[in-house]
């Protein structure tokens, strides 16, 4: 499918606006930087092919990139999904890099499903949107969010929250 110049400009704007936050979302969900960038790129390529059909690019990209990452991880190295040593983060040049890394390190201490629902929560998804993306009941998402918050609170109280 060929895009008109106007459609191409709109797509480029979405690409520029969503690539970095999409990679950050996947890293929070547990992906390595390399895997997150691959999944985000793949999702954006798929969006370009479906540009006229996708009504809400942001949630569509998040769900598609997340599923692409899961497929790649399960196909290549299913045992390495959790407890990976994170790669050095991309240069962010923002004041809160250390805080972001503390959050990522803290999230990596959670079980996979709790980490995943927290990543969706941090990215601004409602439990219903998360449930739809993960293919599970919203009640399960809410329960895992509650458990994740309790686990994060415990980790912070025990002083296991990272450098800060």
pTM: 0.63
Q: Where are the domains of the chain?
A: 1-78, 95-164
- Residues 6+ positions from 47 with CB-CB distance below 8 Å: 11, 14, 54, 57, 60, 61, 64
- In this structure, CATH architecture of domain 95-164: Orthogonal Bundle (1.10)
Q: Which residue has the higher pLDDT, 92 or 143?
A: 143
> 13-41, pLDDT tens digit by residue?
999 999 999 999 999 888 889 999 999 99
Give me the helices (H) in the chain, please. Answer: 5-29, 33-49, 57-76, 97-107, 112-122, 127-134, 138-157
pLDDT number for residue 13: 92
> 3-state class of 142 per DSSP?
helix
């Amino acid at each position: 499918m060929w895009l008109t110049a106007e459609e191409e400009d709109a797509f480029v704007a979405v690409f520029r606006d969503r690539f970095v936050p999409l990679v950050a979302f996947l890293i929070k969900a547990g992906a390595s930087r390399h895997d997150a960038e691959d999944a985000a790129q793949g999702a954006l390529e798929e969006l370009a092919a479906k540009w006229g059909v996708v009504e809400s690019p942001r949630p569509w990209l998040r769900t598609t990139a997340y599923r692409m990452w899961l497929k790649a991880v399960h196909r290549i190295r299913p045992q390495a999904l959790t407890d990976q040593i994170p790669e050095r983060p991309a240069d962010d040049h923002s004041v809160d890099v250390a805080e972001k890394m503390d959050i990522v390190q803290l999230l990596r201490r959670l079980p996979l499903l709790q980490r995943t629902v927290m990543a969706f929560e941090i990215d601004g998804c409602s439990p219903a949107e998360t449930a739809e993306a993960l293919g599970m009941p919203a009640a399960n998402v809410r329960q895992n969010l509650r458990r994740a918050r309790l686990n994060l609170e415990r980790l912070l109280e025990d002083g296991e929250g990272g450098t800060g």
